[in-house]
Structure 1
Amino acid sequence: MVKCWKCSDNCLEDAQCTDGGSAVSPQSRFPHKAFWLSLSASLLVIIIVLSVTGHLRLPTPHSQSSQIIRIMMPDQSGALINQSAVVDQENDLVTFSVTSHANQTSTVLFDIKHGLICYKPMEQQSCFLRKMEKSDYDNMHSLLQEFTHKSHFQLSANETQRQKEFLGVLADTQVDLSTLEEPLQALCHDRTIHWTRRVEGLGKQRLVYFCIDICFPSNICVSVCFYYLPE
């Protein structure tokens, strides 16, 4: 039988009902509420600590982690060379875009972490690889130093050193795309890839297929010319 009665003014509750058992006191409900309040406070503290230490920091988009450097340089005829370099310090990548007078843009990717340079000329259906050398690392080091100060460079023709490099294409050494890192795969996914090696001079009866001019903020311009070596 259920019994209900009204309490006096000194009672903590206005009404209590029992079904043949003892009444549930407010003191018995207090530990339950205290447990949830304590748990909520602990979770809030953990979230704040993780946020401060960076564990909950959102990933930075690739576009925000990269900086664009524009380099203007007159060629030997006096016409300006339109060139830009995208510097991705987080992934140790520098990507040059060089536009020729025929309004064709070639791409040169410096993968500093893996010590590779990849050339992607617009007028060819292939990409060309070579290993970075000391001079390449020096040029990249000077670029990374300079870009922290400004993002636009106007090089003087009188003060710029011009160099020419010849690379022989090893036509019989086609590279498997799956063996390369992701930046190179993305750049050359629709082309064949060949290794090249530096050669001294052009040699006799050799035909230069194309050249790419790359200028660095250190007032050094390098004209890289390719031709195919006999298989």
Structure 2
Amino acid sequence: MAKLLALAVFVAAFLAQVLAEEAVSVSKTRKDGGLSRYMLLINKEEQLATEHVWAGRDSATVLFDYKSGIIAYRVFDSQACYAAKMNRNTFPALDKLRETLDNEKNHKQSPPPPGKKYNVNPDPIKDQGKLGAPVQALCQGLPAYWAQEQIGEMFFIEAGACLRVDLLILDVSLCGHVGF
């Protein structure tokens, strides 16, 4: 099963890269000293960006759907998807993602990515079809949960633990009802 999942992720990443207008693939040392591989893909026409992170147990695929304003995090260690509304006031614009691509391609130093914190609702989303086709495809076969972005210093955690997802463009914490 794990080999089949790895193959599916590889094929999806390959096809996404072929269809993307812009792509970058880099390896970076994480804060904990481990090595992660990142692939950031942008499709301006579809207003979609996808970031794949290969980091052992911390591997994830994240879809940024600028048309629908939905972000979906498929975190492989938790075997779940987490969806959140994109706060356009605090979320990097598609052009900012392009700047990140340029910086990575040219090996330029860029400021550390901003952090995002989310509280995860314990109840699964009943109709994933309302999330849009790209998010539905990413989360197919997995339970999906709404995550509410927390703004400011106050961060309420209902119960449970936190998952960290380190991306090229964001450092994400999903807290509350996260499965392991």
Q: Same fold (TM over 0.5)?
A: yes
CA distance in 1, matches of 2:49, 2:111: 21
Q: How far is 1:206 from its partner? A: 4.8
Which residues in structure 2 correspond to 1:119-130 (within 5 Å)? 119-130=73-84
Give structure 1 stretches of 5+ with no counterpart: 1-60, 217-221
CA distance in 1, matches of 2:96, 2:149: 22
Q: How far is 1:82 from its partner? A: 1.5
Which residues in structure 2 correspond to 1:144-163 (within 5 Å)? 144-145=98-99, 147=101, 152=105, 154=107, 156=109, 160-163=111-114
CA RMSD, 1 decimal = 3.0
Pick one of 27, 34, 44 that aligns with 1:89: 44
SS of 1:127's partner is strand
Pick one of 171, 174, 178 that aligns with 1:223: 171
Higher relative contact order structure (alpha carbons within 8 Å, sequence separation ≥ 6): 2
Query: Number of aligned pairs?
Result: 159
Indicate conservation of the 8 Å contact 2:28/2:36, yes or no.
yes
**Under a length normalisation based on structure 2, what TM-score does the superposition of the two structures give?**
0.72
* Greater radius of gyration (CA): 1
Q: Are the structure 2 counterparts of residues 124 and 152 from structure 1 closer, same or farther at C-alpha, using a change threshold of 3 Å?
A: same
CA distance in 2, matches of 1:224, 1:82: 17
Q: How far is 1:207 from its partner? A: 3.9
Indicate conservation of the 8 Å contact 1:65/1:90, yes or no.
no
Percent identity between the two aligned chains: 21
Q: How far is 1:73 from its partner? A: 3.6
**Under a length normalisation based on structure 1, what TM-score does the superposition of the two structures give?**
0.58
